Amino acid sequence: MPPSLHALLYEPALRVPVGGPGVLAAQLRHLVEMAQRPRITVQVVPLATGPHPGLEGPFMIMEFESDPTLIYLENRVQSTFLEEEPHIERYRLAWERISAKALPPQRSTELIAEFARRVDAAEKP
């Protein structure tokens, strides 16, 4: 079976113009395109939802058909894989709590497209 991806993106990350407004708009449009693919789900966690476990830092839950689940953590100085069940359960619970605050996929895609249009409009003289 081909891999799938489910990304939860915190709204402020979609508004920071790293590389400039043109780069941001292109990145946002790319997210919208990728969200249309059948095995990709993109959801936005709105700023208005308030505190959530994702504020502690990014993480990735990597689940495999025949290998154990791994949690991947990364920061400026190191990356780490967690494989012990108590750690995996804590991150699964964090994922559930974050995703409960996220917008549905369709609304998320609409919001990302709206951000891209605003960036494009602001760039026009």
Task: For the beta carbon of residue 92, count every other beta carbon within 10 angstroms.
Answer: 14
Question: DSSP assignment, residue 5?
Answer: E
Q: State the total domains in the chain.
A: 2
pLDDT at 2 > cutoff 90: no
User: 62 and 42, same structural domain?
Assistant: no
Helix (H, G, I), strand (E, B) or coil at 86: helix
Mean pLDDT of 25-49: 96
Q: Both 2 and 16 in a single domain?
A: yes
Residues 5, 42 within the same domain: yes
pLDDT in tens, 81-108: 999 999 999 999 999 999 999 999 999 9
In this structure, are 34 and 63 located in the same domain? no
Same domain, 3 and 41: yes
H/E stretch holding 27 reads: helix 21-35
If asked whether residues 34 and 54 sit together in one domain, one would say no
pLDDT of residue 125: 67
Tell me the pLDDT band of 43, cut-offs 50, 70 and 90: very high
123, pLDDT greater than 80? no
Same domain as 56, residue 72: yes
Residues 65 and 97 in one domain: yes
Model pLDDT, residue 99: 97
42, 34 Cβ separation under 8 angstroms: yes
User: Which structural domain, as residue segments, surrounds residue 56?
Assistant: 50-101
The span from the CA of 83 to the CA of 90, in Å, is: 12
Q: What is the pLDDT of residues 44-92, one digit of tens each?
A: 999 999 999 999 999 999 999 899 999 999 999 999 999 999 999 999 9
Are 4 and 29 members of one domain?
yes
Instruction: Write down the pLDDT at residue 45.
Output: 98
Is there a single domain that holds both residue 67 and residue 27?
Answer: no
37 and 67 belong to one structural domain: no
